[in-house]
Amino acid sequence: MKESFSILFGLLGGLAIFIYGMNLMSEGLQKVAGEKMRQVLGILTKNVFFGVVAGAITTMVLQSSSATTVMVIGFVSAGLMNLPQAISVILGANIGTTMTAQLIAFKLSDYIWPILFFGFLLNFVPKNERTKNIGLTIFAFGLLFVGIETMGDLMKPLAKSPVFVSMISQVSHIPILGVLVGALMTVVVQSSSATIAVLQNFASTPGPDGIMSIIGLKGSIPVLLGDNIGTTITALLACIGQSKNAKRTAVAHSVFNIVGALIFIFLVTPFANFVTLISPKGPELEVISRQIANAHTSFNIINTVIWMPFVWLMVKIVTTIIPEGEVEELEEKTAAIYLDPHLLSQPVFAMTLCQQEVLQSCETILTSLKETKLAIIPFDQDNSSEVREVWRTQRDLQREIQHYLSRMIAVGTPTEAQTNAITELLLVSSGLERICIQMGNFIDEMIELENKDLSFSDNGERELRHSLEAIIELFKASLEVLKDGDDVSIVMVIALRERLIDMEKEMQDNHLERLNSGVCNPKMTPYFNSILGDLTNIGTYCLDICQSLSYGLNVSVEDR
């Protein structure tokens, strides 16, 4: 009993080291190549073939098809990627995820500790962040094999157990049982790469005869097919509460793997013969790890090639499974449409969504400024109340953006450059929040004036209209700066702000003249001053948000 617990916890410990190493390697690779990966994904989704390539490359970096699928679901939900593009990326993701199994098939037992030590030195000694991240990736790569070796050493005694050998014999001879075992393992571990690594290691264990694999290639293939089905569970969980297209994307991932597994389950023998043909020759125990890796890669490549011409059919299948139904109305037209909490641990993609959210918010604010002018001059009680609610909603949205950015730092592992970009975006969102608050105050004061039966003179109303028009022009110029970081636009913002200050001073002087001539009611003065203060502050906040960014939001972090 004691020995059984020792083996069990040893296997779990080895698996834990492997999964930790894989996650750490993914983290290091994202930090080294994350921005390039985002650019690749943006460029290579123009057609099905390039979408497949983009999905494969992205997954090689993320080291997880589930992570890629979750990211794609987030992009689809945000409207940054359409359904056919998303499906093509997912097809490629299934190919990219096989890279881990190919790496594991290398016999690196004699080099594990030098790899670990070299990675540690490269991460610990240099000060350069990129070099440290490369070291982290190498160190994590070594941890993968520490976990594999630990599991392998503890699996050997299991091969001598008659009960265990009998159980494996059942799995080997009943393919559907192997599929169920593989799917269940992956659902529990939440990583097909980890379960396939366990399968490779286990298959390399000799059976009772000491010569042949305990499970063999034919017995391993059904388990491998089950692994591919089990990995789709993560995507299905991630799509809960998302848009219909996001759910369809997750379902497409499941359909791809389930249909492929159902086809290949009837072709285990010819498929095993094909894999044996393309794999290195030698004693079974020496080559079976590579054979399983090649089977994993071949299954996903063949499955992808079959589906590539029929992406349109996949779209039809998933839209049939999840029909359009009734159009869902948004409760608030300015509610966040890009932010996805599932991507917080992937700062590269989370930043992309956040930038889109801020830019979309700016467009809404610009529209709201125009609507405010129409509602205030001449004053319309109903329209003013509606616009006030829009400003409150926008204020709340900015706070939601700031919370999302803060969680990105806390939950994710951003690089120094990404952290700086997040900080800048926080400042921009904070400035936008202040603009929303000031505009809300401005409308409240105008409503209060109406309720007290106080109003501007004709000249005062005309000057207020010109002031609002100047603010609209100023914010429009600020938006151009936020998009592209153009220095010429910043100069224009500064000039427009100075013009606004001059206008406010002129309005103050004109108001005093109207007071002296008896045109204006003295009760208007405190409201007038407060309103001028609101408008002047908005101009200041416009300049502040422009100066918060080193580069425009359309520029990637790597290009800064």
Separation of alpha carbons 44 and 284, rounded Å: 40
Q: How is residue 317 written in tokens?
A: 């299948």
| CB-based contact 37:58 (threshold 8 Å) | yes
What pLDDT shows up at residue 333? 42
What pLDDT shows up at residue 558? 55
Closest CA to 92 of 149, 152, 44: 44
Q: How far is CA 412 from CA 27, 347, 354, in A?
A: 9, 6, 14
User: How many Cα atoms are found within 13 Å in the side-chain-facing hemisphere of 11?
Assistant: 18
Separation of alpha carbons 499 and 386, rounded Å: 30
What pLDDT shows up at residue 326? 43
CATH number of 343-559: 1.20.58.220
Beta bridge pairs of residue 213: 206
Measured from the Cβ of residue 144, the count of other Cβ atoms closer than 10 Å reads 27
Length of the chain: 560
**162 preceded by cis ω (within 30°)?**
no
Measured from the Cβ of residue 61, the count of other Cβ atoms closer than 10 Å reads 23
Residue ranges of domains in the chain: 2-321, 343-559
Residue whose tokens read 């097919």: 225
Residue 57 sits at the vertex; the CA angle it makes with 73 and 182, to the nearest 5 degrees, is: 70
Separation of alpha carbons 295 and 297, rounded Å: 6
Collect contacts of 105-110 with beta carbons under 8 A, ≥24 apart.
105/200, 105/289, 105/290, 105/292, 105/293, 108/145, 109/145, 109/149
| CB-based contact 468:376 (threshold 8 Å) | yes
| CB-based contact 315:51 (threshold 8 Å) | no
What lies within 8 Å, CB to CB, of 316 at 6+ separation is none
Helix orientation angle between 65-77 and 83-96, rounded to the nearest 10 degrees:
170
How large is the C-alpha radius of gyration of the chain? Answer: 31
Q: How is residue 524 written in tokens?
A: 């208007």
Burial 306-334 (b: 16+ CB within 10 A, else e): ebbeebeebbebbeeebeeeeeeeeeeeb
| CB-based contact 527:445 (threshold 8 Å) | yes
Measured from the Cβ of residue 453, the count of other Cβ atoms closer than 10 Å reads 7
If you ran DSSP here, which 8-state letter would residue 334 be given?
T
3-state DSSP assignment of residue 33: helix
What pLDDT shows up at residue 43? 63
Separation of alpha carbons 94 and 65, rounded Å: 6
Which 3-state string (H, E, C) describes 43-101?
HCCCCHHHHHHHHHHHHHHHCCHHHHHHHHHHHHHCCCCCHHHHHHHHHHHHHHCCHHH
What pLDDT shows up at residue 400? 93
Which 3-state string (H, E, C) describes 269-317?
HHHHHHHHHHCCCCCHHHHHHHHHHHHHHHHHHHHHHHHHHHHHHHHHH
What pLDDT shows up at residue 331? 38
Overall pTM > 0.85: no
Q: How is residue 446 written in tokens?
A: 């105008």
Separation of alpha carbons 71 and 67, rounded Å: 6
Separation of alpha carbons 89 and 47, rounded Å: 10
What average pLDDT values come out for the chain (560 residues) when binned by 10 residues?
71 82 79 68 71 86 75 78 87 88 81 90 86 89 83 66 65 82 82 82 78 86 90 77 81 90 91 93 90 94 92 91 61 64 81 89 92 82 86 92 89 79 90 92 86 80 87 90 77 86 85 80 82 86 84 61
Separation of alpha carbons 554 and 362, rounded Å: 14
Residue whose tokens read 């120094």: 416
| CB-based contact 279:117 (threshold 8 Å) | no
